[in-house]
Amino acid sequence: MEHNYKVTLSYDGTKYHGWAKQPNSITIQQVVEEKLSIVLNKPTRVNAAGRTDAYVHANNQVCNFETTQKLITGKIKSSLNKILPEDIYIKSIKEVNSKFHARFSCIKKEYVYLIYTGEKNVFFNNHYLHYKKKINLPLIRKAAKLLVGKHDFKSFSISDKEETVRTIKSIIISKDENIIKIKVVGDGFLRGMVRMIVGTLLDINEEKKELADIEKLLNNPFKGSAITKVKGCGLYLNKVWYN
């Protein structure tokens, strides 16, 4: 009998080339599967809710794995955290029904992008986008509203997927002193999509693009035509929802 387990984890993506395994780079998936296979004493593969890019972080990534073993989840969590590097942490493990899949069962996700506008802070290098220009909040909020809804986001992605229609449920932009936080909630995201959305908002802030350009990008989808993609270091997979 197969048992299915849901894992919630956080990680600092600074030292990694994203989530998905790659031939010549260290990734989060590679490390998690390697350590999980040691703990379970058998090769074990995990499925993730989202394949975060290089240097991108996660507050609440979700993955699942199957095994014939009936696990004591608290013990497995403890054993994993003892051998995982300090920049990856297992927050919870619980058994779920056999139909659960971290990616395909997901109904929506929230990404957060952090921008720091203050004087250079070396401790923020890997966790914020340093941005020296003044941000016109009313303007970029107005721009963000144009992206909410069901659209073809091919222009905002470098993905080779044929189906590029996604629904953005909300984009909330807030400011706390020198930190700008952009929260994007959607039913799914293409590769590089959030980073290109943020890049477009900053282009509008700098008058490199106009509000009308967003409608052009949505109405005339062409792979990567939004062009500007901000650094991965400011992006966090923050929350994943399931039924």
Contact 201, 211 (CB under 8 A): no
> Closest Cα to residue 129, out of 46, 232, 23, 240?
232
Catalytic annotation present for 53: yes
Backbone angles phi, psi at 144, to 5 degrees: -60, -35
Enclosing H/E stretch for 66: strand 57-67
Beta bridge partners of 238: none
* Exposure on the CB side of residue 128, measured as CA atoms within 13 A: 18
How many Å apart are CA 91 and CA 110, to the nearest integer? 18
Nearest by Cα to 109 from 155, 49, 153: 49
- Residue of 12, 53, 203, 213 marked active site: 53
Q: Which residues are catalytic?
A: 53
